[in-house]
Amino acid sequence: MSVELNQLDDGKILEIRISGKLLKEDYERFMPELDRLINQFGKIRLLVEMQDFHGWSAGALWEDLKLDWRHYSDIERVAFVGDKKWQKGMSIFCKPFTTAKVRYFAWSDLAKAREWIEQPASSVKSPSA
């Protein structure tokens, strides 16, 4: 599994690039950074790029659920970028577990995803994902 983190907009946006299969250890590596940014900025935004992503191990899925509960209202927006139908479905499935605006983008629309995640809150249109 590969997880790369990149802070944008002085840390208010966290770009997460994932590939392979997420493991519990991956969450243990990037959760402290996510927690730090939330403590520093309050609400943050996530841009999740899924390239050659194959899902979660059971332990990682549990860590993901804990993340959702712990940060239920700390994430303002999430843009998922992927290339699989199930990844789009995942973006719809996760909506009840967060107060964030969630939207899915195909890889060909990565620039649109970046534009949407960076928009001021007052100019955000309803997601059409």
- Phi, psi (rounded to 5 degrees) for 74: -95, -10
Number of domains in the chain: 1
Q: What is the pLDDT of residues 29-88, one digit of tens each?
A: 888 888 888 899 889 999 999 888 887 788 777 677 677 667 777 889 999 998 877 677
Structure tokens at 72: 């239920």
Residue 129 inside a domain? The answer is no
Residue 41 inside a domain? The answer is yes
Instruction: Assess contact for 4 and 26: CB atoms under 8 A.
Output: no
Residue 106 inside a domain? The answer is yes
The pTM score is 0.81
Work out the angle at residue 1's Cα, subtended by the Cα atoms of residues 39 and 79, and round it to the nearest 5 degrees. 50
CA end-to-end span of the chain, whole Å?
Answer: 27
Residue 116 inside a domain? The answer is yes
Instruction: Assess contact for 59 and 22: CB atoms under 8 A.
Output: no
| Count of all residues that appear for the chain in the document | 129
- Which CATH number characterizes residue 30's domain? 3.40.50.10600
Domain that holds residue 119: 2-123
